[in-house]
Amino acid sequence: MTSPGEQMHALVERLYPICRSLTGDGVRATLDIVGEYLPLRVHEVPTGTQVLDWTVPQEWNIRDAYVADATGRRVIDFAASSLHVLGYSVPVSATMPLAELRPHLHTLPDHPEWVPYRTSYYQPDWGFCLAQETLDALPDGDYEVRIDSTLEDGHLTYAEHVIPGRTADEVIVSCHVCHPSLANDNLAGIAVATFLARELAATTPHYTYRFIYAPGTIGAITWLARNQERIDRIKHGLVLACAGDPGRLTYKQSRRGDAEIDRALRHVLRESQRPHRVAEFTPYGYDERQYCSPGFDLGVGSLSRTPYAGYPEYHTSADNPAFVSPEAMADTLAVCREAFALLDRNRRYVNLSPYGEPQLGRRGLYDALGGRSDAKEAQMAMLWVLSLADGDHTLLDIAERSGLSFAVVAAAADALHRAELIKE
């Protein structure tokens, strides 16, 4: 049986060839595949719909595109890679000399063998992306230029998967589905989100979990515009991107900086002793900046490995399935699992015997620790829980104040709850 990491990598490989963009059939094809793993509710929002300060754009679809030389040989071919066409290119059918074509060709001179990813979402344009070494080899002469695309009124597509919890309060997990053949940004995030949802669906979590698969920026803005009535239910959130590269984990905090999700991720990463970095919020990056915009100010952070634009392969053909690994995606998934387990378990308690320290020995609480290598730590955790179980402090507060791990504090709270010394 293949491991979850290998299964996530297989999903990345399957999604990789699809040409995705802000809108269009590539997004739908991606969601169809994810829908084989999870039941999805797919939403179609018409072109022209006002969403906060934005308007849903026209839908873009592409069937074929190429540049062919005088012999008919395709020197640039969309069929070979969806990166070869400037995203949202308008239709073109023409013959032109190389000098006229050159301004529409995009390369990476510093990495001459790589193809860049470029778009022109909100300003009509057309173009091709290619390796610098391919461009250097093109002789002067006339070239046939063909982009068989449509840009017309249609829909913006996004999807949700909801896992009901014991409470209507929600945790959102968001990933973007608008990038074409880029394995780390964004397919690894889609894969980790999908397998996290599958794991959570096998449990009965405390919170309701809502997974959002939407195109970047405009998709998150559209979701927010259409869900303003539920915003007060959202207690925590996480944006997943760049989730499979070999770099160390990076957690970017919410705009608040002290939201419970921020504290949970800091604690999990520190206690796990994984190599990691915690970054301050900036209003640039992925969709955390939409969820954290001041009118909403949600407690939503972002988890990645190497952050956006932090690795040479970012937004190039080198961000391919070989660049991401099953092990890295499995590690990202594990951190998500641990962080959400902490959030789901984090509670406030009240000490039912608050006048003086209750006698733990006669309740068998010390005996229950006999022989444990961490008996001293577990005993201290019980004392800390009893001391701070005043209805104001959460278990995470207690863990941070005591310097103990959340797992040890939660186990102490469970023992004290069974002994009827504390209650939620």
- Between CA 106 and CA 89 the distance in angstroms is 13
236 in a known ligand binding site = no
- Between CA 212 and CA 41 the distance in angstroms is 10
Distance of CA 238 to the CA centre of its chain: 7
Mark residue 48 as left, alpha or beta (left: phi above 0; alpha: psi -120 to 50; beta: remaining): left
Contact partners, residue 137, CB within 8 Å, separation at least 6: none
Helix, strand, coil % (nearest 5) of the chain? 35, 25, 40
Q: What angle do CA 22, 87, 33 make, to 5 degrees?
A: 50
- Between CA 178 and CA 110 the distance in angstroms is 26
Mark residue 404 as left, alpha or beta (left: phi above 0; alpha: psi -120 to 50; beta: remaining): beta
315 in a known ligand binding site = yes
- Tokens 């770099």 locate to 247
392 in a known ligand binding site = no
229 CB neighbour count, 10 Å cutoff:
7
The strand pair at 128-129 and 105-106 is best described as parallel
Contact partners, residue 168, CB within 8 Å, separation at least 6: 208, 233
Mark the binding-site residues for Zn(2+), compressed into ranges: 179, 185, 315
Mark the binding-site residues, compressed into ranges: 179, 185, 315
